[in-house]
């Protein structure tokens, strides 16, 4: 019986092609908007995830200076954390390794080429902590760190700008007129969260930077420290241990605030992810307004259709159509319209989001949930907007309906 | 041959209750019987209760009191759904304005009553084709109503009324929208159907049309004013 109702409904809605098409348009735009917005939200979230992953997971970041002092925000960055602090943290339980760094902007010269770059003095473990990989050559060693060797490892942007297609390994680059030997290059990471070029970087031993590029009154002090922890759920305990250790090493009294700040990267990631999630939710919610409008369009069209087909309904009833049948037919018509609109909207939404992804060079995911969601929405919208007109059709008195002009 | 009673109405009454406590007695106790194979014309002025009687006979309306036996079955107390079933199985309707579905093919229109009987699409089409042949419209299966003349459309409607092998054909002013020549054609066709043994109840206000029937039931002011031979009645009128 259902295939008969289905074919009756199909013939009825295709009899008025223009009207049916215009009605499906409303749902189509709504579903396309939702699909597109969900895709945008998910892409943004993916970009955030990737950026955080490229910064390394299971990481605690130690910054010199207190974030607050006696309840008052103070300027951060007063040098308080030393290389020795970071080395001693390495001995703590559940800590895999530590690293530290300080940076300075320098002008790099090779032959006639000249490039402004970020010079980073750090330790060999920074590769692991910062999720970097050596592309060609080697990383400097602990021994180079002790001897303050004039070795550098170049980021991909620096390689491109200074060397072009030339092999930089074994060549000499001048930074502030001092020659440095290129011993390795880094694999590219692409732009960071804020769109900055992470590959515009030269790595060298911490001691080398302090002695040859940028001296300091307290050369042992670092700008940033990294603590890599062996598992994500140990982050909080390790954070406690690091705090105790640093307070002890800095001889802080119980009444004194910390003179350093420790940030839990995983927590930060969670927070940014949450923001991303609410962002996609918001986008989808805005897009679904157009779905509601489309659904009202269907209801309106079905009501017109019931009025226009009053005589048809009367005839069908006189010829033996049960009320149930009349109601189901109108409901199926409404669901079909909504379903077709959803299908078209899904195709358009996915196509547009993929084209957008292609233009902005981002991978846009097609989630199965979007598909399931839009089809459930189609059925729900169809039923909700078709129910009232269908009941109206069902309740028509055949005598009045037959007399209707 | 003993004749079988297909319609038996007994003291049929219908009262319409209007808002404000007013009520109107439209049928005030109508009784008659119709045997299988009869050709009955029901006449009456507008407001006589003729339409209400027709709607009741057509199982579209229930009487306020009295009984209505259709093919031996009491139907005055049936539910809407049961009435729909009775209409679909035992009645065939022919309307004044044909009431064809204008967007559908002739074959779809003719087979429409079968749709609600759970019959397959292919069988519906086969039976529609056969029925169209019977009413002289072979080859018109895939046309739409607008491509046909009024007389042809009414024949499509008759084919539709016949397709479920009904016990009675109920024709409500079937020639009201047709010119006199086409009217004659349609009424002659009804006569030939009646000769094949099909029971026909015809509602009309035109004496010319009623003349095609054998028996006349005249309704006036909610009661049966005359029940007998059409010829006798007409002769009496002309004297």
Question: pLDDT for A136-150, tens place per residue?
Answer: 999 999 999 999 999
Query: Where residue B21 falls among pLDDT bands split at 50, 70, 90?
Result: confident
- Domain shared by A15 and A103, yes or no: no
- Is the interface score ipTM higher than 0.90? yes
- Domain shared by A115 and A213, yes or no: yes
Query: Where residue A37 falls among pLDDT bands split at 50, 70, 90?
Result: confident
**Segment A349-368 mean pLDDT:** 87
pLDDT at A183 over 70: yes
Q: Do B88 and A319 touch (CB under 8 A)?
A: yes
Question: Which residues of chain B does A15 touch, with a Cβ-Cβ cutoff of 8 Å?
Answer: 103
Q: Do A320 and B93 touch (CB under 8 A)?
A: no
Q: Measure CB to CB from residue B61 to each of A311, A314, A399 and give the nearest one.
A: A399
Chain B nearest CA to A389, separation (Å): 20
Q: Measure CB to CB from residue B101 to each of A312, A318, A324 and give the nearest one.
A: A312
As a whole number of Å, the CA-based R_g of chain A is 33
Instruction: Note whether residue A132 is domain-resident.
Output: yes
- Domain shared by A127 and A31, yes or no: no
Chain B nearest CA to A18, separation (Å): 14
B112–A contact, CB cutoff 8 A: yes
Q: Name which residue leads in pLDDT, B209 or A56.
A: B209
Q: What was the pLDDT predicted at B123?
A: 92
Q: Do A323 and B87 touch (CB under 8 A)?
A: no
pLDDT at A56 over 80: no
- Contact predicate A315/B101, CB 8 Å: yes
H helix or E strand, kind and range, residue B168: strand B168-172
Q: What was the pLDDT predicted at A234?
A: 86
Q: How far apart are CA A148 and CA A130, in angstroms?
A: 21
Q: Do B55 and A399 touch (CB under 8 A)?
A: yes
Q: How far apart are CA B21 and CA A367, in angstroms?
A: 64
pLDDT at A256 over 90: no
| pLDDT tens for each residue of B89-131 | 999 999 999 999 998 999 999 999 999 988 888 999 999 999 9
B98–A contact, CB cutoff 8 A: no
Range of the domain at A334: 2-51+270-403
With a CB cutoff of 8 Å and minimum separation 6, the contacts of B203 are B41, B42, B43, B50, B51, B54, B170, B171, B172, B173
Instruction: Note whether residue A381 is domain-resident.
Output: yes
Q: What was the pLDDT predicted at A363?
A: 82
- CA-to-CA separations, A236 to A189, A233, B152, in angstroms, rounded: 28, 7, 89
Q: What was the pLDDT predicted at A77?
A: 58
Please give the share of chain A, as a percent, with pLDDT higher than 90.
Answer: 51
- CA-to-CA separations, A400 to A233, A263, A275, A337, A405, in angstroms, rounded: 73, 76, 59, 28, 10
pLDDT at A69 over 70: no
Whole-number average pLDDT of chain A: 88
Q: Do A323 and B84 touch (CB under 8 A)?
A: yes
Instruction: Note whether residue A262 is domain-resident.
Output: no
- Domain shared by A277 and A348, yes or no: yes
Residue owning tokens 């009675």: B168
Q: What was the pLDDT predicted at B93?
A: 94
Q: How far apart are CA B120 and CA B126, in angstroms?
A: 10
- Contact predicate A191/A361, CB 8 Å: no
Q: Measure CB to CB from residue B85 to each of A8, A318, A320 and give the nearest one.
A: A320
H helix or E strand, kind and range, residue A326: helix A323-359
The total domain count for chain A is: 2
Q: What was the pLDDT predicted at B14?
A: 93
Classify residue A211 by its DSSP letter.
I
| pLDDT tens for each residue of A263-298 | 887 777 778 878 888 888 888 888 888 888 889 999
**Segment A28-40 mean pLDDT:** 89
- Contact predicate A108/A162, CB 8 Å: yes
Q: Do A323 and B85 touch (CB under 8 A)?
A: no
Hey, is B174 helix, strand or coil? coil
Q: Do B88 and A320 touch (CB under 8 A)?
A: yes
Bridge partner list, B34 = B7
- Here the tokens at position A127 are 């590769």
Instruction: Note whether residue A265 is domain-resident.
Output: no
Whole-model pTM?
A: 0.74
Q: What was the pLDDT predicted at A258?
A: 86
- Domain shared by A126 and A20, yes or no: no
Question: Which residues of chain B does A326 touch, with a Cβ-Cβ cutoff of 8 Å?
Answer: none
Q: Do A322 and B112 touch (CB under 8 A)?
A: no
- Domain shared by A131 and A201, yes or no: yes
- Domain shared by A21 and A128, yes or no: no
Please state the CATH superfamily assignment of the domain spanning residues B5-238 in this structure.
P-loop containing nucleotide triphosphate hydrolases (3.40.50.300)
Query: Where residue A193 falls among pLDDT bands split at 50, 70, 90?
Result: low
Chain A nearest CA to B164, separation (Å): 10
| pLDDT tens for each residue of A77-131 | 578 899 999 999 999 999 999 999 998 899 999 988 999 999 999 999 999 888 8
- Contact predicate A398/A317, CB 8 Å: yes
Cβ atoms within 10 A of the Cβ of A134, count? 14
Q: What was the pLDDT predicted at A379?
A: 87
Q: Measure CB to CB from residue B115 to each of A4, A15, A399 and give the nearest one.
A: A4
- Domain shared by A387 and A287, yes or no: yes
Whole-number average pLDDT of chain B: 91
């Amino acid at each position: 019986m259902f295939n008969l109702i289905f074919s009756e409904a199909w013939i009825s809605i295709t009899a008025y092609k223009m009207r049916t098409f215009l009605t499906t348009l409303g749902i189509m735009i709504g579903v396309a908007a939702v699909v597109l917005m969900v895709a945008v939200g998910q892409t943004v979230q993916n970009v955030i995830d990737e950026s955080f992953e490229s910064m390394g997971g299971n990481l605690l970041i130690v910054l010199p200076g207190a974030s607050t002092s006696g309840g008052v925000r103070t300027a951060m960055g007063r040098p308080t954390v030393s290389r020795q602090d970071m080395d001693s943290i390495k001995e703590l339980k559940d800590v895999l390794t530590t690293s530290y760094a300080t940076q300075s902007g320098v002008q790099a010269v090779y032959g006639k080429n000249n490039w402004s770059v970020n010079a980073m003095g750090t330790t060999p473990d920074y590769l692991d902590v910062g999720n970097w990989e050596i592309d060609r050559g080697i990383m400097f060693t602990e021994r180079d760190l002790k001897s303050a060797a004039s070795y550098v490892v170049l980021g991909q942007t620096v390689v491109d700008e200074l060397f072009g297609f030339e092999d930089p390994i074994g060549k000499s680059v001048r930074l502030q007129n001092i020659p440095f030997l290129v011993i390795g290059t880094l694999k590219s990471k692409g732009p960071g969260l804020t769109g900055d070029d992470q590959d515009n970087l030269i790595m060298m031993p911490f001691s080398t930077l302090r002695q040859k590029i940028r001296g300091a009154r307290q050369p042992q002090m670092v700008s940033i420290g990294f603590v890599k922890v062996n598992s994500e759920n140990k982050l909080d305990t390790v954070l406690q241990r690091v705090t105790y250790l640093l307070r002890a090493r800095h001889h802080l009294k119980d009444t004194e605030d910390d003179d350093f700040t420790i940030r839990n990267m995983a927590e930060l990631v969670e927070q940014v992810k949450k923001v991303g999630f609410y962002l996609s939710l918001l986008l989808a919610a805005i897009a679904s307004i157009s779905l509601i409008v489309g659904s009202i369009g269907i209801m309106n069209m079905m009501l017109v259709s019931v009025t226009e087909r009053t005589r048809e309904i009367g005839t069908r009833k006189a010829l033996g159509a049960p009320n149930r049948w009349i109601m189901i037919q109108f409901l199926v018509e409404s669901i079909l319209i909504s379903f077709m609109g959803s299908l078209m909207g899904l195709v358009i939404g996915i196509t547009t989001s993929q084209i957008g992804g292609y233009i902005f060079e981002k991978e846009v995911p097609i989630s199965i949930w979007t598909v399931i969601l839009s089809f459930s929405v189609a059925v729900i919208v169809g039923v909700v907007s078709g129910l009232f007109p269908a009941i109206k059709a069902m309740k028509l008195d055949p005598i009045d309906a037959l007399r209707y002009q | 041959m003993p004749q079988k009673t297909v319609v038996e109405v007994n003291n049929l009454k219908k009262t319409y209750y209007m808002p404000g406590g007013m009520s109107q007695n439209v049928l005030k106790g109508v009784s008659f019987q119709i045997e299988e194979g009869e050709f009955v014309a029901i006449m009456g002025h507008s407001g006589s209760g003729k339409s209400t009687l027709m709607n009741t006979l057509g199982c579209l309306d229930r009487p306020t009191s009295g009984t209505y036996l259709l093919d031996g079955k009491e139907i005055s107390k049936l539910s809407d759904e049961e009435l729909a079933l009775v209409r679909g199985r035992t009645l065939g309707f022919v309307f004044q304005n044909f009431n064809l579905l204008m967007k559908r093919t002739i074959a779809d229109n003719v087979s429409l009553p079968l749709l609600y009987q759970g019959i397959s699409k292919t069988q519906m089409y086969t039976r529609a084709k056969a029925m169209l042949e019977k009413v002289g419209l072979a080859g018109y299966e895939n046309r739409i109503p607008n491509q046909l003349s009024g007389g042809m459309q009414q024949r499509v409607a008759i084919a539709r009324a016949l397709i479920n092998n009904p016990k009675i054909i109920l024709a409500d002013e079937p020639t009201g929208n047709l010119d006199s020549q086409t009217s004659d054609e349609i009424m002659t066709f009804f006569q030939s159907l009646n000769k094949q043994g099909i029971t026909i109840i015809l509602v009309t206000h035109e004496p010319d049309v009623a003349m095609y029937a054998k028996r006349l039931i005249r309704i006036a002011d909610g009661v049966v004013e005359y029940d007998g031979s059409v010829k006798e009645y007409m002769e009496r009128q002309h004297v």
